[in-house]
């Protein structure tokens, strides 16, 4: 007997645990088996043909679809409240496949200057090489962006809050401007996750993620996911099916397991980051703190409107220079000095060596990234221990 739930009546934490697994799996397993099989066999040629044509549910070949991968996609579809979803090997695969599936020569993209480093490369290098015109606006300057969109464009690409200074963009406002010219709106929702922000409900057409970050949450799996309308996701899926940036089934299993604690983790990330941001903004050795949850942050008002929580990433500058950063960071016991973000354990690093390493000092300055900026991804540790760790480390510089 198949159970039925109206997911609109269910909260996110419950969706994350139960969607796609109301019934037991093969052999009555209560957890999804990791199906490593590359191919799927059929005794009936007619049935094989129907599955291959998509007329009947089933799998043919794991570059296209796979049962373990499908469960991760189904959970994300339900949590994002989307019609359809499709997964990828990494976040950059999700982003590049989306852009290359939906754009053709002579199309125009409007986006922001502060997008993720890899995305920025696609905008500045790969898309122009394919004769796609890309216009990057000052991040957070809504008037400039609206004016650029009004001139006509195919696709508007947003990321909010941004890396590393947590600038905030009004998704609803920009989506309205895009709708007027018939442009598709894509939002990179990696920093927020659907627990904190639902781009599709704010008017976007596609919400995509690097699942490597908060969705996975344990720094042990790379992945990506795209959620949106059936029509758009079908095009993007088809592109991935052929180009082959498919998620591994073992990764899909890890991500399914991670999603079950997504709401719990994000609530804790939100609480911890806000407490730490408040602590840092009062500390005499700290110069600036960037966190959308602080009332002093320029994007606070919009963030308060469109987000349920302000997320687990903040950044700050110490009074001093880059040498002060080099002296300070190794003194933190409870933070890995490493790239990436969104894990249960705190991660810290300067954008100068991580996300924005490919830029010159001048280019970083233009983006408002001071050389002594530290990005800190606040984990789910006990916040008293993190503050204590900061207290001791700051007292030594
Ligand atoms: C990390 C990240 C990406 C890229 O994801 P990968 O899984 O590393 O390919 C894209 N967007 C944002 C906002 C990210 O933080």
Q: Which domain holds residue 342?
A: 262-395
In the prediction, which pLDDT does 197 show? 98
User: Which among 116, 197, 218, 354 is the best mutation to test ligand 1's pocket, defined by most ligand atoms within 8 Å of the CB?
Assistant: 116
Rounded to the nearest whole angstrom, what is the distance from the C-alpha of residue 223 to the centroid of ligand 1?
9
Domain shared by 128 and 18, yes or no: yes
Rounded to the nearest whole angstrom, what is the distance from the C-alpha of residue 96 to the centroid of ligand 1?
11
In the prediction, which pLDDT does 367 show? 78
Residue 355, pLDDT above cutoff 80: no
pTM of the model: 0.97
pLDDT, average across residues 174-185? 98
* CATH for 67: 3.40.640.10
Q: What is the pLDDT of residues 219-267, one digit of tens each?
A: 999 999 999 999 999 999 999 999 999 999 999 999 999 999 999 999 9
Split at pLDDT 50, 70, 90, the class of 151 is very high
In the prediction, which pLDDT does 1 show? 56
Domain shared by 44 and 139, yes or no: yes
Least confident of 62-71, 244-253, 265-274, 354-363: 354-363
* CATH for 340: 3.90.1150.10
Split at pLDDT 50, 70, 90, the class of 353 is confident
Q: Which is nearest to 161 in space by CA: 262, 281, 309, 269?
A: 309
Final residue belonging to a domain, choices 259, 286, 320: 259
In the prediction, which pLDDT does 356 show? 79
pLDDT, average across residues 283-301? 97
pLDDT, average across residues 10-30? 95
Rounded to the nearest whole angstrom, what is the distance from the C-alpha of residue 249 to the centroid of ligand 1?
20
Final residue belonging to a domain, choices 259, 292, 327: 259
User: Which among 89, 91, 339 is the best mutation to test ligand 1's pocket, defined by most ligand atoms within 8 Å of the CB?
Assistant: 91
C-alpha pair distances (Å), 86 with each of 65, 77, 95: 9, 9, 12
Residue tagged 């089934």 (tokens): 249
Which residues are paired to 356 by β-bridges? none
Which percentage of the chain shows pLDDT scores above 90? 93
pLDDT, average across residues 170-188? 98
pLDDT, average across residues 301-316? 98
Q: What is the rounded distance in angstroms from the CA atom of residue 134 to the CA atom of residue 113?
A: 11
Q: Tally the C-alpha atoms within 13 A of residue 88's C-alpha that lie toward its C-beta.
A: 27
Domain shared by 192 and 327, yes or no: no
C-alpha pair distances (Å), 95 with each of 74, 116, 123, 220, 244: 19, 10, 11, 20, 14
Domain shared by 234 and 331, yes or no: no
Catalytic residue IDs? 63, 116, 188, 213
Domain shared by 80 and 17, yes or no: yes
Final residue belonging to a domain, choices 217, 240, 259: 259
**Ligand 1 residue neighbourhood (C-beta within 6 Å):** 90-92, 116, 118, 159, 163, 188, 190-191, 210, 212-213, 222, 224
Q: What is the DSSP letter of 352?
A: T
Using CA positions, which residue lies closest to atom 6 of ligand 1?
Answer: 91
Q: Structurally, how many domains does the chain consist of?
A: 2
Domain shared by 242 and 355, yes or no: no
* Ligand 1 atom with least separation from CA of 340: 1
* Ligand 1 atom with least separation from CA of 93: 9
Using CA positions, which residue lies closest to atom 4 of ligand 1?
Answer: 91
Give the β-pairing of 133-137 and 184-188: unpaired
* Ligand 1 atom with least separation from CA of 212: 7
Rounded to the nearest whole angstrom, what is the distance from the C-alpha of residue 56 to the centroid of ligand 1?
34
Rounded to the nearest whole angstrom, what is the distance from the C-alpha of residue 43 to the centroid of ligand 1?
42
User: Which among 114, 162, 169, 210 is the best mutation to test ligand 1's pocket, defined by most ligand atoms within 8 Å of the CB?
Assistant: 210
Q: Mean pLDDT across the chain, nearest whole number?
A: 96
- Do the domain assignments include residue 216? yes
Q: What is the DSSP letter of 394?
A: H
Split at pLDDT 50, 70, 90, the class of 377 is very high
Domain shared by 207 and 328, yes or no: no
Least confident of 135-139, 282-286, 357-361: 357-361
Which residues lie below 8 Å from residue 59, measured CB to CB, with a gap of 6+? 40, 51, 65, 66, 67, 70
Rounded to the nearest whole angstrom, what is the distance from the C-alpha of residue 212 to the centroid of ligand 1?
7
Domain shared by 269 and 248, yes or no: no
Asked if omega into 15 is within 30° of 0 (cis), the reply is no
* Ligand 1 atom with least separation from CA of 162: 13
Using CA positions, which residue lies closest to atom 8 of ligand 1?
Answer: 91
- Do the domain assignments include residue 2? no
């Amino acid at each position: 007997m198949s159970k039925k739930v109206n997911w609109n009546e269910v909260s996110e934490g419950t969706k994350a645990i139960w969607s796609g697994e109301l019934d037991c799996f093969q052999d009555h397993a209560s957890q999804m088996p990791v199906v490593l099989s590359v191919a799927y066999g059929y005794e009936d040629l007619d049935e094989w043909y129907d599955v291959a044509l998509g007329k009947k549910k089933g799998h043919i070949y794991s570059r296209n679809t796979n049962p373990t991968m499908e469960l991760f996609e189904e959970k994300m579809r339900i949590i994002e409240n989307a019609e359809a979803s499709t997964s990828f090997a990494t976040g950059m695969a999700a982003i590049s496949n989306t852009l290359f599936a939906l754009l053709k020569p002579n199309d125009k993209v409007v986006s922001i200057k502060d997008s993720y480093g890899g995305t920025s490369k696609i905008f500045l290098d790969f898309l122009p090489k394919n004769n796609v015109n890309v216009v990057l606006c000052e991040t957070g300057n809504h008037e400039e962006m609206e004016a650029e969109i009004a001139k006509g464009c195919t696709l508007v690409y947003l990321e909010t809050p941004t890396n590393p200074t947590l600038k905030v963009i009004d998704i609803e406002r920009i989506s309205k401007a895009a709708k007027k010219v018939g442009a598709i709106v894509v939002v990179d929702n990696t920093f927020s996750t659907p627990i904190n922000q639902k781009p599709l409900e704010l008017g976007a057409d596609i919400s995509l993620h690097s699942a490597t970050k908060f969705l996975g949450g344990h720094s042990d799996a790379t992945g990506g996911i795209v959620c949106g309308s059936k029509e758009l996701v079908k095009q993007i899926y088809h592109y991935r099916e052929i180009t082959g940036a498919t998620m591994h089934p073992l990764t899909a299993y890890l991500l399914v397991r991670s999603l079950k604690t997504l709401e719990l983790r994000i609530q804790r990330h939100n609480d911890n980051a806000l407490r730490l941001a408040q602590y840092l903004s009062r500390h005499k050795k700290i110069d600036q703190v960037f966190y959308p949850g602080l009332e002093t942050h320029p994007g606070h008002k919009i963030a308060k409107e469109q987000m349920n929580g302000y997320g687990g990433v903040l950044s700050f500058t110490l009074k001093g220079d880059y040498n002060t950063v080099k002296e300070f960071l190794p003194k933190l016991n409870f933070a890995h000095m490493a790239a990436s973000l969104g894990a249960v354990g705190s991660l810290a690093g300067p954008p100068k060596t991580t996300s924005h390493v490919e830029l010159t000092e001048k280019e970083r300055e233009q983006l408002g990234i001071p050389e002594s900026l530290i990005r800190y991804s606040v984990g789910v540790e006990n916040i008293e221990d993190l503050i204590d760790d900061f207290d001791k480390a700051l007292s030594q510089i």
